[in-house]
Structure 1
Amino acid sequence: MLKELRHYSNFGTPNYFFELLTTLKNKQNVSYLRSDIEKLFYNKIIDGRSVFDGCLELALKIDILQTSDNIVTINEGISNSLNSVNQMIDKFNEFLFLALKKDEEFHKIFCSEHLSHDIIYKSLQINNAAFGLKHSNLKQLLIDFRTIMNHPTPEINYFIINTRYKKLFDKTVLPEIKKRKIGIEEFRKSMELQQIYGEEAERFVMDYETKRLNNKKEIDWVAEYIVNEGYDVASYDNENDDIPNRFIEVKSYDGDTPYFFWSRNEYLTAKRKQQEYWIYLVNRKEMNNKNYEPIMKQNPYESILKDDIWEKLVDKYKIELINVNP
């Protein structure tokens, strides 16, 4: 869809669509052709814009408008959400995300590579560079419809995804992101038991942290969206803490002896965060027991790597040729 719409300059604003949709709703006895809709906005300026070249095409692509015999009609699914601009924005975003959730171009933008977790604002954020020039029209649409917002810190070149639409994002887009975030080959591997075990352990830790903090904090399951953050869960040391300060990498194991594999990225994140970084080791055989508690190691860069009770084995080496002058 986005590939087909790439050459349009303007996808429209909430005020444009509110005027268009209310017109079609209030004049259902009138047959509007595509050309008639274009004439509705001829010589008009809405939100500082006078070119509306991609608006009708977008509306048809996301199904808020439908066409038969070149006659354009409003979808009843949005017709009942026109009591206010804000109500229309919410419904519009539902249609938009449903249309985009399978779009290949969209997932090149909203992928694990471009997403990250904002600790201060407890939100998912996306790099501005993810859109590039070719998708600047989509970026502007998402800004206009409040799906993404400028980061409160101006010098940070990121947008924050509006928490108002987090549930919608989780329902429509997240399942596809989870499939694609580690690539096709890795996704095949993710179907194996190890990936299933990992997600079960992460869910266990999410529940465990919620209970530990007396259900007073909203815990962020970062690994749902992002594969390279260096931790899986952003939690809190205490229920009175304002910002996340316990970053948990979840590892599951089976048997009597705890063990885990640690990536270079996780190791470097632990080294950087020090006391704020934790590893939770979850025994798969025990985690369904009511009073089971995982092994929790704070600052594993010190408490594990420098403790001789933990045996460390090198799983692989990176071998690289260095430039040597003859």
Structure 2
Amino acid sequence: MTDFEIAHRASVQARFWKVSDEYTGAFITGARNANGKALCRAKSAERLADDLARQAEAGAAAEAWVVKYERDRLCDHPLRDQIRQISAEDVAAGYDIVSFASILSIRHDRFIEVKSHGETKVFHWSRNEIATAVEFGEEYALYLVDRNRCEQPGYEPHVITGPTPEMFALPDSGWRVEATSFEHVAISD
């Protein structure tokens, strides 16, 4: 650019270039066009609402599928009719379904949080769900359900019992954890 006298800098270390008067119009037009293009990450409020509605629908379908899966898994359990989805009645429970760990259980001892996903296992685990997982320990389970495969015969969800945030952060866990919420906590002297 300097050889053709299109632009120059005051020094090699200078951050900004000065465009020659002859080319200023072309540079301004180029900048105007670049700034006028929509960002590829742009999303309208309507599209966001549609996406959230689809996610909620997929989540509800995955939860219904897990209730059926659990009832099939425990088909000879005398209390299998008590395996149920509770997320519709208590959204703050920290889990979606109550079930039994085995056919020998007579009280609910499996608290299932269902996460629906597509080809890639990506899910949001809320602060309340994490706290519930820590509180319930091995009685808590994440069921990761591939919504594209769950209706295939023989499909089983990816089940993680007793999950903790720390297990996902281990270097060889195969999971990448990304923070999505930040809270400022005042530090007293």
Q: CA deviation at 1:198?
A: 0.3
2:67 is the alignment partner of 1:202: no
- Which of the numbers 134, 158, 164 marks the counterpart of 1:295? 158
SS in 1 for 2:115: strand
Aligned counterpart, 1:267: 130
2:148 is the alignment partner of 1:311: no
Aligned counterpart, 1:214: 75
Aligned-partner Cα distance in 2 for 1:319–1:222: 32
More helix by share: 1
Aligned-partner Cα distance in 1 for 2:51–2:169: 32
Q: CA deviation at 1:294?
A: 0.4
The one-letter amino acid of 2:70's match is E
Report the TM-score when normalising by structure 1: 0.39
| Superposition RMSD in Å | 2.2
Structure-2 change in CA distance of 1:295 and 1:323 (3 Å): closer
Aligned ranges for residues 25-174 of structure 1 at < 5 Å?
none
Aligned-partner Cα distance in 1 for 2:63–2:166: 22
On the 8 A contact 2:169/2:177 being kept in 1, the answer is no
SS in 2 for 1:247: strand
Aligned counterpart, 2:101: 237
The one-letter amino acid of 2:118's match is D
Gap regions ≥5 residues in structure 2: 1-48
Q: CA deviation at 1:253?
A: 0.5
Q: CA deviation at 1:240?
A: 2.4
SS in 2 for 1:300: coil
SS in 1 for 2:58: helix
Note the alpha carbon deviations across 1:99-123, whole angstroms, 9 max, x for none.
Answer: xxxxxxxxxxxxxxxxxxxxxxxxx
Q: CA deviation at 1:304?
A: 3.6
On the 8 A contact 1:246/1:278 being kept in 2, the answer is yes
How many residues are matched? 136
On the 8 A contact 1:252/1:282 being kept in 2, the answer is yes
SS in 1 for 2:164: helix
Q: CA deviation at 1:190?
A: 9.0
| Bigger-Rg structure (1/2) | 2
Note the alpha carbon deviations across 1:286-326, whole angstroms, 9 max, x for none.
Answer: 01112110000011117843533211100121235x2757x
Aligned-partner Cα distance in 1 for 2:107–2:170: 30
On the 8 A contact 1:297/1:303 being kept in 2, the answer is no
Aligned counterpart, 2:89: 225
Aligned-partner Cα distance in 1 for 2:124–2:165: 16
The one-letter amino acid of 2:66's match is V
Structure-2 change in CA distance of 1:242 and 1:189 (3 Å): farther
Aligned-partner Cα distance in 2 for 1:190–1:240: 41
Structure-2 change in CA distance of 1:215 and 1:190 (3 Å): farther
Structure-2 change in CA distance of 1:253 and 1:294 (3 Å): same
Where has structure 1 moved over 4 Å in runs of 4 or more?
188-191
SS in 1 for 2:142: strand
Identity %, equivalent residues:
31
Aligned counterpart, 1:52: none
